[in-house]
Amino acid sequence: SQQGEEDPQALSIQEGENATMNCSYKTSINNLQWYRQNSGRGLVHLILIRSNEREKHSGRLRVTLDTSKKSSSLLITASRAADTASYFCAKSLSTGNQFYFGTGTSLTVIP
């Protein structure tokens, strides 16, 4: 993809462990957002981080942004079975009106 990808594509962990997903991009962004999609459902917004921010927290979620490396990571701490879902990053580019979703990371949390 011209706008980067998420990795890993799939992740399987035990309940209670931390899960880390990464997102890369190739051009300057205005903001980057993380979404969750449960099987058969629509996407739900989790957190937004702006280009001038380096870290944000929301509950058990922690998002970091490294603009020099053009990458972001989503950390879910103390994972639960209910966290099982696909996670997508979406990039709002600085120029033009472009908004791209990545291919997603499929997370499975084993009880």
To another protein, the closest distance from the beta carbon of 53 in angstroms equals 14
Q: Which x/- pattern, by CB under 8 A, does the window 13-52 give for another protein?
A: -----------------xx-x-x-----xxxxx--x----
Stretch that binds another protein, among 19-27, 53-61, 72-80, 102-110 (CB under 8 A): 102-110
Distance from C-alpha of 38 to C-alpha of 45, rounded to nearest angstrom:
12
Q: Which of 49, 65, 76, 90 binds another protein (CB under 8 A)?
A: 90
To another protein, the closest distance from the beta carbon of 73 in angstroms equals 20
CA distances to 14, 45, 67, 91 from 18, in Å:
9, 20, 24, 24
Look up residue 52 and give its two tokens: 């001038």
Q: Which residue has the tokens 């280009």?
A: 51
Angle (nearest 5°) at CA 3 between 7 and 96: 145
- Enumerate the β-bridge partners of residue 71: 24, 66
Report the interface residues with another protein, using CB under 8 A: 30-31, 33, 35, 41-45, 48, 88, 90, 92, 97, 99-104
